[in-house]
Structures are given as C-alpha cells and as structure tokens.
Structure 1
C-alpha cells in the first residue's frame, strides 16, 4: 500500500492518529487522539494554511538532515576543502537544519499503524540540492497504544567521508501552564544570532530538574543543552496529561525553543549535534556530530510516550 506523492498519510491505532505529510519535508502533520469525548493534540497540529503552503515550519515535527540547527555563515571547511551552502536555497543567514526538511520524501510501505518514508539526495546545481555529498535516509514511523516511535536512518552514498548530524523538530502545544521536565548538565550560551559560544550554568537547568519542572514561559530560549539524559517530559498539569520524549544515542543533545516573542511556540528536540558543530572548536564529545565514511550507515530511534491522568489521579 502506498500513497500519492502530494497527499497525507494517516496512521491509526484505536483512537490515536498520526498524519504524515511526506511532500512537506517528510513531516509529521499531527499526532492526536480522541478520549472521553475530547480531542487531545500531543503535538501542535499543522493548519490547513500551512499544509496548503507546504511550510515545514508549520508542521507538527520535521526531520533534520544532514545536520541540525545552524551552520555559521553557511560555510565550513571539511577534509581540506571549503563547503559553501550559501546558494542552497536556504532563506536564513546561517544555513539551517540541512535540506531534507525542504524537499519531498517518497512514501514506501504503509500499513494501518506503520509507514516508511524515503529520501534520496544527489548533489546538483539545484539550489536545495547544493549539499555536496550524496546520501539517502529513511524514517520508520510506528504508532501503538501508548507511543509514537520514529527510527531515523541514513547512509553516505558518496565516495568520500561526509560530515553528518540528524534530529527531529517537534512543536508542542504551549499554554500558560505547560511545564518542561529534563535533566541536563549545562546550557549552550549563544550569540545574538544564535550561534553557540560555550556551555555553562543557566537557571533553566535547575528549573527543568525541579519537581515542578520549568514553565515554558520562564525564559527566552533558543538553546542547545549539554549532558542530556535523553529523556524529557512536557506536561500540562491543568489538563492532567503529559508526553515523554526518549531517544537513543547518538541523540545526546537537546534543543529547547521557547521564545518570549512567540508565546505559542515550544520545541523540545532530540538532536545529534549542537548548532554549528562543524565550525565549533571544542571536543567532539561536547558538540556531537559525526563523519560517515563512504557506504557507512547510522540508525537511531526516538519516541513520544503519552500519559493521561485517570479519575484516581494516576497516569
């Protein structure tokens, strides 16, 4: 079973539903469920306008390949050569999130509760294909009674080593009562244009580790966090519900995007590298990222597990 290239793919498990938008950067467009006569959005759903515009930034979550977050001035040196991404069609001053989120993915096998999406990048003169290394990627997406699991896989198809990072960019419903719970070692402080400078203390670190968690409105954040335990919970205590993000290695890094200027936006993202890792002069263990040899593959999964409090006060 497969879907037309410009249509949504629906996965279902009981009252739970996931909508995929392969043509919008391989995005997840919605993750929701019906319970006790109400609809619960676990991720911020894409609007009809965002779907019509094919805007990945308006989706519920989208993949980050072949790197996460920003690359300073859209340039870096690798293996003795300058890689210039300034002409790749990215509208940002610093190249952002790679190219897979801005190109369509192909739908592979689909069943009632599972789907596989495929992506193939071949360098060319086309703007969005300016990344000079060939690679392929898949997303295996599976829905069950409690969890939505995504397995990201990629393989270097080039005849030379390729710098690489991956992640996903989920948006969560943000209210005045939304709380974020996580254990991290430090926050990456950054320049005004959001390039990291150093990892160090920040009040958000303690707030997320506290029993009550960090209010999504507590700080103006668009930051990477180091020493993440690879699990984070977003909770809506007034709605008696929570969703927990858990991730495998190499998703050793976490991004929190909770901008004061946009109080409706909240992202807690599993990523394998900090912003601008390829230009950052620190130990690889601190900044993440990888180099894939020709033909080398990498695969890792992350998952969202949902909880709704019952009448007895337990999840």
Structure 2
C-alpha cells in the first residue's frame, strides 16, 4: 500500500523553484507570452494558459529579488508539450481523479471512457483539461475562461454528455480567487464533479495544515478501497511534512481550509473552498518533488465507489442545471 510507507525527511533544495531564474525565463519569452493572459493586482500576478487546458501557469509576487512563486510555476517545456500536468494548476471537469477501468454504470447504461488517453489505464481528471479554453471578459485583474464540450460519437472514450464550464479567475483582496461553474446542456441527467489541481513548491521544511476526519485508503492503482483512520489524519491537523508518508489519497470531511507553510521562509499560503468542495486530495509521493493539495467535489472513482453521498461526493446535474462554487488562495509573508 503506497499510503502507509513512512519516509525520513530529506532535502528538497534542488527542487525549490521559489525564485529560480529558469522559471523566470518563459515570462520574458515573447512567443510563449503571446499565448498567455497575465493578471495583476498590486505585487501579485496570475498567469493563465487558456490553450493548455485552461490552466494556471504561475501565481507569484513581484519582489526586488525576483518573482516569489506561491504555486510551482510551469517550465518552458510544459508550453511546448501543451501539458497541464506540468502547469501550476489546472481545472478538473466533469470529474476529479481516476475512474476505474475507464467505465461506470449510470442511468441504466455503461459509460465507457476507455481509449481517451493511452497513457492511463484509468480515465483521469475528466476532459476539460485536454482542450483549449476560450478567453471571455477580461480586465487587468480578472478574466473569464470558457469551455464547451460537444460529444463526438466517433471519438473513442469521449464524455457522452454535453456541458459548458467556466472559470472566473481574479486577483483581489491580496488573494487569487477562482470561481468554477458548469451547466448540463444535455437532454438527460449527467453525473458530475469538479475541482482544481494546484502544485506547490516542495522543500524540506514545507508543512501542510488541514483539519480532516478520515482518509480513503487506496490500492496499487491509486483507487480507493475503504474510508478509515490513518496517521496522516492527525499529522495533517498538526502540520504534516510532505515527506512523512507516500500519499496519493483522498481525505473526507475537511474543514475546507488548508494552509501550505514554508516556516524557514516565514511565509504560507491558505486555500479556502466553498461547498461542495468537501473532499481533499493530498499528492505527496515519496522520492519525488511534486506536492498537490487539491480541493475537489468528489472522491477518486466516485461514480463506482460504494459509500454514502457525504463520503463519496459528486452529484447528478439535471438538464439545464448549473453548479457554481469558489476557491481562493491567500499568501502571507511574515
């Protein structure tokens, strides 16, 4: 089980991209810059890559020493590959994380998502992150991004429900705000979930603070097996090092507030979420520089999972029904 292996703390200095000159290079690349939307409010900047899955490429603060990154910034090759997995964060529609064997039963039929991405054995993160988003209303500090999915019956593994998604990204009050919404445009009910997938700078001193109640244990395919206690639950409440466990797990009934802290740098970033972002994913793999703390509305494999609605999450949107909820990230320097 990947979620119970304890690991000693280890140095992350080589992976600390807080003020890396390499990360700054693409900010000044005119070819890449032409594809981006940059928001500003005071010293804060948010850089969006609409054509890379509607992703956030960077969220940083302008300082005399250079950009101070609050999320892990995208590398230049992420733009070349148009790969949201190497961005700072990206939206998840119309479900979060994996669907076992890329299929599930719904409304008397089998929904087969197999073949939509040969890299993954299980369907992953929905489909909105695999497509460009359209830029809508825009100001210096805010932008609307839009995506509309029209099912393609000839495309293997395509999501068979028509829907429209929107992100309202805004810098205000010293924080990054993202309001996510979706409307079912199909003439039938649609199963649904959404979330965001932020990556954080990971160093030897990083700590994750979150009030959670239980953890979904997972099998070797990182698919949930059962909800129950785990030492990580108490560790998160106290302030957990990403090096404490080998995690890629969902946590249930969190307080919808989590803080990523870098105490040696005397700074932290607090994430807040509205309902129904009632589930939290912590991705902190062993021997790896990645760290994600993800607000989501559903557990992994929620359409197949056995459990109560409270523990599994997700919902069913009726024809024409819309859902909307907001997220925010507030940086603080002491």
Give TM-score scaled by structure 2 length.
Answer: 0.88
SS in 2 for 1:244: strand
Q: Which of structures 1 and 2 has the larger relative contact order (alpha carbons within 8 angstroms, sep 6+)? A: 2
* Aligned ranges 1:272-311 → 2 under 5 Å: 272-309=297-334
Equivalent residue number for residue 83 of structure 2: 55
Equivalent residue number for residue 28 of structure 1: 56
Asked whether 1:165 is paired with 2:187, we answer no
CA contact (8 A) 2:215 2:233 kept: yes
Alpha-carbon displacement from aligned partner over 1:139-169 (angstroms, at most 9, x marks no partner): 0000024110000000000000000000000
Find runs of 4+ consecutive structure 1 residues off by over 3 angstroms: 125-129
Following the alignment from structure 1 to structure 2, what is the Cα–Cα distance between the partners of residues 64 and 6?
A: 25
- 1:253 aligned to which of 265, 270, 279: 279
CA contact (8 A) 2:153 2:160 kept: no
Equivalent residue number for residue 118 of structure 1: 146
Following the alignment from structure 1 to structure 2, what is the Cα–Cα distance between the partners of residues 128 and 238?
A: 49
Equivalent residue number for residue 174 of structure 2: 146
CA contact (8 A) 1:99 1:129 kept: no
State the Cα distance separating 1:88 from its structure 2 match: 2.2
State the Cα distance separating 1:120 from its structure 2 match: 0.3
Equivalent residue number for residue 222 of structure 1: 248
Following the alignment from structure 1 to structure 2, what is the Cα–Cα distance between the partners of residues 128 and 41?
A: 39
Following the alignment from structure 1 to structure 2, what is the Cα–Cα distance between the partners of residues 287 and 269?
A: 15
Q: Which range moved further: 229-238 or 29-38? A: 29-38
CA contact (8 A) 1:99 1:128 kept: no
Following the alignment from structure 2 to structure 1, what is the Cα–Cα distance between the partners of residues 64 and 145?
A: 32
Note the residue ranges of structure 2 that are not aligned, 5 or more in a row. 1-31
Give TM-score scaled by structure 1 length.
Answer: 0.93
State the Cα distance separating 1:42 from its structure 2 match: 0.3
Alpha-carbon displacement from aligned partner over 1:52-111 (angstroms, at most 9, x marks no partner): 110110000000000000000000000000110003235210100000011110000111
Equivalent residue number for residue 233 of structure 1: 259
Q: CA RMSD in A?
A: 1.5
Asked whether 1:184 is paired with 2:209, we answer no
Q: Which range moved further: 140-149 or 118-127? A: 118-127
Following the alignment from structure 1 to structure 2, what is the Cα–Cα distance between the partners of residues 183 and 90?
A: 36
Following the alignment from structure 1 to structure 2, what is the Cα–Cα distance between the partners of residues 261 and 276?
A: 26
| Count of residue pairs brought into register by the alignment | 303
CA contact (8 A) 1:5 1:22 kept: no
SS in 2 for 1:207: helix
Following the alignment from structure 2 to structure 1, what is the Cα–Cα distance between the partners of residues 156 and 267?
A: 39
CA contact (8 A) 1:29 1:46 kept: yes
Equivalent residue number for residue 293 of structure 2: 268
State the Cα distance separating 1:283 from its structure 2 match: 1.1
